Chains A and B, each alone.
Chain A
Amino acid sequence: ETGVTQTPRHLVMGMTNKKSLKCEQHLGHNAMYWYKQSAKKPLELMFVYNFKEQTENNSVPSRFSPECPNSSHLFLHLHTLQPEDSALYLCASSQDPVTNTGELFFGEGSRLTVL
């Protein structure tokens, strides 16, 4: 295993379902991020964790709940989502969010479809 791994790669869920997205990084980094990528829109930052502590929450609705049990793992728990939440959810990591040189390592994303 190398880099940043996300599972599942594809997920279809109803609005009443509860599901989770998982991210694992094998790079020894201290910071992890969730970004949302929708068509024709910029990558939107959702959450930042630094040394397992949440340092940024970009006004994300409470139906998205992040969890970072350790520096290598990041989860995004999903419940009662809306169709407009359908998007590609990208996880990323970096050595250190304070001093890093703008280099994030991204996973290939989890493509979420909400019916």
Chain B
Amino acid sequence: GQSLEQPSEVTAVEGAIVQINCTYQTSGFYGLSWYQQHDGGAPTFLSYNALDGLEETGRFSSFLSRSDSYGYLLLQELQMKDSASYFCAVRAEAGTALIFGKGTTLSVSS
């Protein structure tokens, strides 16, 4: 079967750096995506990695290692508004929809 593993909860303080890991076991691999979802809101796209390495977008960065079936989302200079759930998602086969992990709840305190 297809599975993605990520921690269920992470806590941090404002201004800190936090890393949310994601490991996947899927039949194939066509890319790793990250989404953010605030309580009561829609999931919103953050980043996408198809090749190994680090992608940086402002305070958020995402990393992928295909040989390790592993990726992470790095959030820097944390703000209270970053408190949300973060989901990793994999496209296992070409032309098919994303498979999501259970999500990591990030709580940022002052």
A residues neighboring B (CB under 8 Å) = 4, 33, 35, 40-43, 45, 48, 55-56, 90, 97-98, 101-109
Contacts and interface: CB of A to CB of B under 8 A. Distances in A.
A104 B98 contact: yes
Contacts of B89: 43, 102
Interface of B: 4, 31-33, 35, 40-45, 48, 50, 87, 89, 91, 94-103
Given A42-B4, A90-B43, A108-B42, A102 B31 contact: yes
B54 to A, nearest CB: 16
B102 A103 contact: no
Contact of A90 (B40, B42, B95, B97): B42
Question: Which 9 pairs show the lowest CB-CB distances between chains A and B?
Answer: A102-B33, A43-B100, A106-B42, A102-B48, A98-B95, A103-B45, A42-B100, A108-B42, A106-B43
Nearest to B8: A40
Nearest to B40: A108
A107 B43 CA distance: 8
A97 B100 contact: no
Given A106-B43, A108-B41, A109-B42, A45 B97 contact: yes
Contact of B97 (A4, A48, A105, A108): A48
B31 to A, nearest CB: 5
A88 to B, nearest CB: 9
A51 B32 CA distance: 24
Contact of A56 (B32, B33, B43, B96): B96
B81 to A, nearest CB: 18
